[in-house]
C-alpha cells in the first residue's frame, strides 16, 4: 500500500476477471490493473475467475462490492450482471438491461439514433439471412446501396475482433465470414473517415462525468486487436487534437448514450469525428479495457487524478448504490 | 524524452531504441485466443504439454532429497557453462539408445533444447542467411530463425519425411541465386507438428547431400524415445559426426518445467557453444541438472519412458479413433510416436480464421499457419493428443467436427470464398 492511500482500507472488493470469451486475455490484464490500483488505495482486493464456485466465493469472500472486469460475452452480454443482481452484493458498472442493449452494437446504434445522435448507416444481417435469401443476391443489394469502403463487424464482440474494413464488393463475403466466426449477426456499416475518439464516462456518486477524449492514431492506419494490445503500435493524444467545441460535443454524446442506456458507473463510447466536425457514434462498452494501454485509464490520468482514487470512487459509488 | 507531442503517447518510450530484430517479435490475435485454454470447460488440443501427471512425484522427491543431502551446496551454486559432468555422462547413455556414441566432452547442457537452438542461431545466422526446413516445421525453431533474421525455405515433406530430391533441387536453386544456406533443420522422429518420421533411406541421403554441400544439419530429437511400436531409425548423428548437430531434451521424457536440454556438437562448435552459453547464462541451472542426474541414477527412468509411451499411445489411439468417428473424410497423419496429428481441412477452410469459432465451441487447436514461415498452412491444423485424457480427446475432436461443419456451411453459403 502506498503511504497516505488509506481511504479504501475498510472496503473489500471482489474483482472478477478472465471468463471464457475471446477477450479473456485482456480481461485478466484489466482485472490485475484494477486490483493493483484498488490495493494501492488501501482496499482489500480479491481477484477471481467466474466459475462454478462463484456463489461460494462471493459468500466466503464477503465483498462489499464486486467489480466485473470481464470483457466479451461473458461479462458484457448482461448474463453475469443478471446473476450478480440476484446476490445482495452491489457491483460496478451497468446492470443487466443496460449491458444487453450496449453489447449488441446494432441495438446500441438504434438507441443512439433515436436519441438524436449521428451513427453511420448500416445493415444488420444474421448469418441465416444469407442462407435463406442467397448470399450473392444479398451482397449485391448491399453493394448497390452502400458506398465503399464499409466496415464489417460482429454485432456482439469486442476489441475489434472480427472487424474488417472492406474497400470493394469483391472482399465483402470474406469479411462476412470473418465476422461470423465471432458472432451469428454481423453489421455492415458505412466507413466514416476521420479522427477516432474514445470518451470514457464515469460516475463516482456525484453525477456523470465525461473524461477528456482520447484520440487514437494508429501508426499503421488500423486500430485492430493487435494494435490495441501492443505498446508502440498506436499514438494516443489526450486531450485529442480537435477544437474544444467538438470535444465538448463528444463528451455530451458520451454522457447522453451512457444515460440513455443506464450504464451507471463506467462506460466508454467510441466515436469518429469526420472532416466536417460531425461526431458519429460507433459503439459503447460497458466493461472498457483497463489494461496499461487501454483508453479509459489514459482518460482518467489526463484529469490529473490517480487510478487508485478514481477506481476507489467508482467502487464506493457502487457500494452505496449511487450512479 | 517526451511521451507527448508531437507523437502522442505510444506506451513505449523506447520504440526508437530497439534493435531491428525486435521487429521479429509480435503478439497475435491467435495467441490471445489461446488464453482460454486454461479454462476447464475448454478442451485444448493446442499446446504440446507433456502429461507430467504420469510421472510419480516420489521419484523426483527422492532424487531431490538425495541431491540436497549429498550435493546441496553444489546444487545451489553456479556451475560450468558446459553443464554438470555427471549428467553429461548420463546423457551419453541416453543417446546410446538412439544409436549415438558420443563423448561427454562434446555435450553441452542448455536450458531446454530451445536455448540450444537459440545459441546455434546466434552463432551461425546472419541476416539473410537461409535455413532449410520441413513443411511444416516446429514453430519454436521458426521463431528463433526469424529472430536472427534468417529466411526459412520449406522443403517438400511427405509421409516418409523430408524429400531428399527436393533438398537437392532447392540447394541448387538457392546457391544459383547466390544465397547462403546455413542449416537444414529437422525433427526426424514423430515430427512437430506433422507426426511424421524420416525414413532410414532418406536419412542417409540427406546426410550425404548436406555433407557434400557443406550444410549443417540440426537434428532436433525430443520425441525419438516416445515410440509406440517399433523404434524409429537411428539418429543421423550416429553415422555423421561433423555435419550433424544433435539436440535432445528432458522435456518430453521427464518434465519440461525442469528446462534441461542438451546439444551434441563437433568439438570446434562445442567450444563456441560453451562460450555462448556462459555469455548468455553463466551456466544452465545447476539445481535442475543435479536433480535430473539423481533421478537418472536412482530410478528406473527407462521404465518411466515406457510408461509415457503407454499413456501417449492410448491417447494417439483415442485421437485417431475420434477422427475416424467424427471426421472420417479428413486426412490425418498417423504417427507411431510423439504428440501430434496433422490434419488437412476441406478446401477453402482456413484454420486460423476458424479458431474463434472453435473457442466458442470450447475446443482449441493450433492453426497450421504457425508452422510455416512463408504464410502456408492455412488448410491444416495440429491436434496435440499428449495432454488431454482420452475422453477429452474424443470430446474435443467431436467439437472440432461441429466447428468444421459450421465453417463449411458458412463457406458454402458464401460460395467458398
Q: What is the pLDDT of residues A63-74, one digit of tens each?
A: 999 999 998 877
pLDDT at A229: 67
Mind giving me the DSSP string for B48-98?
----GGGS-HHHHHHHHHHHHHHHHHHHTS---TT--HHHHHHHHHHHHTT
Question: Could you tell me if B3 lies within 8 Å of chain A, comparing CB atoms?
Answer: no
How far does A219 lie from chain B, in Å, by closest CA? 9
Contact, A90 vs A316, CB < 8 A? no
Question: pLDDT band at residue A316, thresholds of 50, 70 and 90?
Answer: very high
- What share of chain B in percent tops pLDDT 90? 89
pLDDT at B39: 87
Place of cell 444487453: A100
Q: Given a cut of 80, is residue B228 above it in pLDDT?
A: yes
Question: pLDDT band at residue B417, thresholds of 50, 70 and 90?
Answer: low
Question: In chain B, which residues fall in CATH 3.40.640.10?
Answer: 65-298
Q: Looking at per-residue confidence, does A228 or A13 come out higher?
A: A13
Domain ranges of chain A: 12-92, 101-118+193-305+312-319, 122-190
Beta-bridged to residue A44, according to DSSP, are A12
CA atoms within 13 A on the CB side of A177: 25
> Which ranges of chain A would DSSP assign to H, the alpha helix?
24-40, 54-61, 73-76, 79-86, 96-103, 105-114, 127-133, 135-145, 172-180, 225-229, 244-260, 295-302, 307-319
This prediction has a pTM of 0.91
B238: cell is: 550416429
pLDDT at A159: 73
Measured between beta carbons, the chain B residues lying within 8 angstroms of A33 are none
Nearest to B392 by CA among B27, B20, B42: B42
Could you report the per-residue pLDDT of A232-262, keeping only the tens digit for each? 778 999 999 999 999 999 999 999 999 999 9
Nearest to B29 among A130, A131, A226 (CB): A226
Question: pLDDT band at residue B4, thresholds of 50, 70 and 90?
Answer: very low
Q: Given a cut of 90, is residue B211 above it in pLDDT?
A: yes
Could you report the per-residue pLDDT of A133-168, keeping only the tens digit for each? 888 899 999 999 999 999 999 999 877 789 999 999
- The pLDDT mean for chain B works out to 94
Measured between beta carbons, the chain A residues lying within 8 angstroms of B352 are none
Nearest to B140 by CA among B164, B161, B120: B120
Measured between beta carbons, the chain B residues lying within 8 angstroms of A217 are 8
Range of weakest confidence among A57-66, B31-40, B254-263, B291-300: B31-40
Nearest to B367 by CA among B24, B131, B29: B29
Per residue, what are the HEC states of A122-177? EEEEEHHHHHHHCHHHHHHHHHHHCCCCEEEEECCCCCCCCCEEECCHHHHHHHHH
Nearest to B415 among A135, A178, A229 (CB): A135
Q: Given a cut of 70, is residue B102 above it in pLDDT?
A: yes
**Chain A residue at shortest CA distance from B413:** A131
Measured between beta carbons, the chain B residues lying within 8 angstroms of A235 are 7-10
Nearest to B356 among A26, A182, A217 (CB): A182
Question: In chain B, which residues fall in CATH 3.90.1150.10?
Answer: 20-54+303-413
Tell me if domain A12-92 and domain A122-190 are identical in fold.
Answer: no
Of the options 1.10.1040.10, 3.40.1130.10, 3.40.309.10, 3.40.50.20, the CATH number for the domain spanning A12-92: 3.40.50.20
Question: Could you tell me if B28 lies within 8 Å of chain A, comparing CB atoms?
Answer: yes
Note the Cα A231 to chain centre separation in Å: 19
**Chain B residue at shortest CA distance from A294:** B11
- CA dihedral defined by B98, B103, B104, B107, rounded to 10 degrees? -70
Q: Given a cut of 80, is residue B312 above it in pLDDT?
A: yes
Q: Given a cut of 60, is residue B5 above it in pLDDT?
A: no
How far does A225 lie from chain B, in Å, by closest CA? 7
- What's the CATH fold of domain B65-298? 3.40.640
Class for domain B20-54+303-413, per CATH? alpha beta
Do B11 and A292 count as a contact with CB atoms less than 8 A apart? yes
Place of cell 469459432: B357
Question: pLDDT band at residue B1, thresholds of 50, 70 and 90?
Answer: very low
Q: Given a cut of 60, is residue B3 above it in pLDDT?
A: no
Q: Check the CA dihedral B247-B251-B256-B258 and report its sign.
A: negative
**Chain A residue at shortest CA distance from B406:** A181
The rounded distance, in Å, linking the Cα atoms of A101 and A82 is: 13
Nearest to B194 by CA among B245, B130, B139: B139
Question: pLDDT band at residue B416, thresholds of 50, 70 and 90?
Answer: low
Contact residues of A toward B, CB < 8 A: 18, 20-26, 28, 49, 51, 127, 130-131, 135-136, 161-162, 173-174, 176-178, 180-182, 215, 217, 219, 225-226, 229-238, 292-293, 298
- The pLDDT mean for chain A works out to 92
The second-level CATH assignment, the architecture, of A122-190 is: 2-Layer Sandwich (3.30)
Q: Given a cut of 60, is residue B265 above it in pLDDT?
A: yes
Could you report the per-residue pLDDT of B147-206, keeping only the tens digit for each? 999 999 999 999 999 999 999 999 999 999 999 999 999 999 999 999 999 999 999 999
The rounded distance, in Å, linking the Cα atoms of A190 and A184 is: 20
Q: Given a cut of 90, is residue B216 above it in pLDDT?
A: yes
pLDDT at B25: 81
Contact, B290 vs B74, CB < 8 A? yes
Kindly provide the ipTM of the predicted complex, given to two decimals.
0.86
The rounded distance, in Å, linking the Cα atoms of A221 and A112 is: 27
How far does A104 lie from chain B, in Å, by closest CA? 17
Which of B413, B415, B416 to substitute to test the interface with A, most A CBs within 10 Å? B413
pLDDT at A319: 95
Q: Looking at per-residue confidence, does B29 or B22 come out higher?
A: B22
Q: Looking at per-residue confidence, does B400 or A234 come out higher?
A: B400
How far does B35 lie from chain A, in Å, by closest CA? 6
pLDDT at B28: 63
Could you report the per-residue pLDDT of A169-191, keeping only the tens digit for each? 999 999 999 999 999 999 999 99
Q: Given a cut of 80, is residue B2 above it in pLDDT?
A: no
pLDDT at B104: 97
Do A130 and B413 count as a contact with CB atoms less than 8 A apart? yes
Question: pLDDT band at residue A3, thresholds of 50, 70 and 90?
Answer: very low
Q: What's the N-to-C CA distance of chain B in angstroms?
A: 48
Question: pLDDT band at residue B11, thresholds of 50, 70 and 90?
Answer: confident
How far does A302 lie from chain B, in Å, by closest CA? 12
pLDDT at B20: 86
Superfamily of domain covering A101-118+193-305+312-319: ATP-grasp fold, B domain (3.30.470.20)
Contacts of B9 (CB under 8 A, 6+ apart): A235, A236, A237, A238, A298, B3
Amino acid at each position: 500500500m502506498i503511504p497516505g492511500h488509506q481511504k479504501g482500507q475498510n472496503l473489500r472488493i471482489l474483482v472478477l476477471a478472465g471468463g471464457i470469451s475471446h477477450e479473456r486475455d485482456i480481461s485478466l490484464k484489466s482485472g490485475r490493473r484494477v486490483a493493483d490500483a484498488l490495493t494501492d488505495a488501501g482496499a482489500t482486493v480479491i481477484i477471481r475467475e467466474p466459475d462454478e464456485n462463484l456463489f461460494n466465493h462471493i459468500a466466503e469472500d464477503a465483498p462489499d462490492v464486486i467489480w466485473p472486469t470481464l470483457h466479451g460475452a461473458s461479462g458484457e452480454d448482461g448474463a453475469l450482471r443478471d446473476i450478480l443482481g440476484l446476490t445482495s452484493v452491489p457491483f460496478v458498472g451497468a446492470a443487466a438491461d443496460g449491458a444487453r442493449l450496449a453489447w449488441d452494437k446494432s441495438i446500441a446504434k438504434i438507441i443512439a439514433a433515436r436519441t438524436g445522435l449521428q451513427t453511420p448507416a448500416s445493415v444488420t444481417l444474421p448469418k441465416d439471412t444469407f442462407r435463406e435469401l442467397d448470399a450473392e443476391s444479398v451482397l449485391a443489394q448491399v453493394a448497390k446501396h452502400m458506398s465503399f469502403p464499409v466496415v464489417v463487424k460482429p454485432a456482439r464482440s469486442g476489441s475489434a475482433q472480427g472487424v474488417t474494413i472492406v474497400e470493394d464488393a469483391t472482399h465483402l463475403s470474406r469479411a462476412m465470414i470473418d465476422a461470423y466466426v465471432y458472432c451469428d449477426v454481423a453489421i455492415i456499416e458505412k466507413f466514416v473517415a476521420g479522427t477516432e475518439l474514445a470518451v470514457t464516462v464515469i460516475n463516482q456518486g456525484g453525477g456523470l462525468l465525461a473524461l477528456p477524449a482520447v484520440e487514437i492514431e494508429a501508426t499503421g492506419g488500423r486500430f485492430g486487436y493487435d494494435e490495441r494490445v501492443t505498446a508502440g503500435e498506436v499514438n494516443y493524444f489526450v486531450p485529442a487534437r480537435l477544437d474544444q467545441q467538438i470535444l465538448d460535443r463528444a463528451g455530451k454524446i458520451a454522457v447522453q448514450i451512457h444515460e440513455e442506456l443506464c450504464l451507471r458507473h463506467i462506460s466508454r463510447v467510441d466515436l469518429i469525428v469526420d472532416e466536417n466536425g460531425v461526431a458519429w457514434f460507433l459503439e459503447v462498452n460497458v466493461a472498457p479495457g483497463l489494461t496499461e494501454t487501454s483508453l479509459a485509464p489514459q482518460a482518467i490520468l489526463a484529469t490529473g487524478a490517480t487510478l487508485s482514487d478514481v477506481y476507489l470512487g467508482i467502487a464506493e459509488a457502487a457500494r452505496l448504490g449511487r450512479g | 524524452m517526451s511521451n507527448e507531442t508531437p507523437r502522442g503517447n505510444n506506451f513505449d518510450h523506447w520504440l526508437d531504441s530497439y534493435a531491428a530484430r525486435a521487429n521479429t517479435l509480435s503478439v497475435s490475435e491467435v495467441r490471445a485466443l489461446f488464453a482460454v485454454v486454461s479454462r476447464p470447460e475448454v478442451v485444448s488440443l493446442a499446446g504440446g504439454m507433456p502429461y507430467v501427471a504420469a510421472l510419480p512425484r516420489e521419484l523426483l522427491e527422492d532424487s531431490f532429497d538425495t541431491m540436497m543431502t549429498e550435493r546441496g551446496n553444489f546444487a545451489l551454486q553456479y556451475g560450468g557453462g558446459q553443464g554438470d559432468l555427471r549428467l553429461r555422462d548420463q546423457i551419453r547413455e541416453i543417446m546410446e539408445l538412439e544409436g549415438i556414441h558420443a563423448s561427454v566432452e562434446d555435450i553441452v547442457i542448455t536450458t531446454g533444447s530451445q536455448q540450444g537452438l537459440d545459441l546455434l542461431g546466434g552463432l551461425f545466422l546472419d541476416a539473410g542467411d537461409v535455413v532449410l526446413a520441413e513443411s511444416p516445421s516446429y514453430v519454436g525453431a521458426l521463431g528463433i530463425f526469424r529472430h536472427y533474421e534468417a529466411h526459412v525455405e520449406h522443403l517438400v515433406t511427405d509421409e516418409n519425411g523430408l524429400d531428399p530430391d527436393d533438398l537437392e533441387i532447392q540447394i541448387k536453386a538457392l546457391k544459383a541465386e547466390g544465397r547462403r544456406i546455413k542449416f537444414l533443420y529437422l525433427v526426424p522422429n514423430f515430427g512437430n507438428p506433422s507426426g511424421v518420421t524420416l525414413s532410414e533411406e532418406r536419412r542417409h541421403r540427406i546426410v550425404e547431400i548436406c555433407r557434400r554441400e557443406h550444410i549443417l544439419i540440426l537434428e532436433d530429437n525430443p520425441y525419438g524415445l516416445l515410440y509406440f511400436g517399433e523404434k524409429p531409425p537411428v539418429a543421423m548423428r550416429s553415422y555423421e559426426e561433423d555435419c550433424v548437430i544433435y539436440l535432445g531434451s528432458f522435456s518430453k521424457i521427464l518434465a519440461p518445467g525442469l528446462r534441461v536440454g542438451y546439444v551434441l556438437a563437433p568439438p570446434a562448435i562445442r567450444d563456441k557453444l560453451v562460450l555462448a552459453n556462459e555469455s548468455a547464462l553463466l551456466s544452465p541451472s545447476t539445481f535442475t541438472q543435479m536433480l535430473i542426474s539423481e533421478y537418472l541414477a536412482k530410478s528406473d527412468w527407462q521404465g518411466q519412458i515406457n510408461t509415457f509411451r503407454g499413456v501417449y499411445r492410448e491417447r494417439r489411439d483415442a485421437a485417431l479413433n475420434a477422427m475416424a468417428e467424427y471426421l472420417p473424410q479428413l486426412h490425418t497423419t498417423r504417427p507411431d510416436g510423439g504428440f501430434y496429428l496433422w490434419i488437412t481441412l476441406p478446401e477453402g477452410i482456413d484454420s486460423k480464421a476458424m479458431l474463434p469459432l472453435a473457442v466458442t465451441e470450447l475446443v482449441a487447436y493450433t492453426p497450421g499457419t504457425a508452422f510455416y514461415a512463408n504464410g502456408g498452412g492455412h488448410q491444416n491444423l495440429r491436434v496435440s493428443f499428449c495432454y488431454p485424457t482420452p475422453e477429452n480427446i474424443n470430446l474435443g475432436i467431436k467439437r472440432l467436427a461441429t466447428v468444421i461443419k459450421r465453417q463449411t456451411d458458412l463457406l458454402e453459403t458464401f460460395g467458398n470464398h
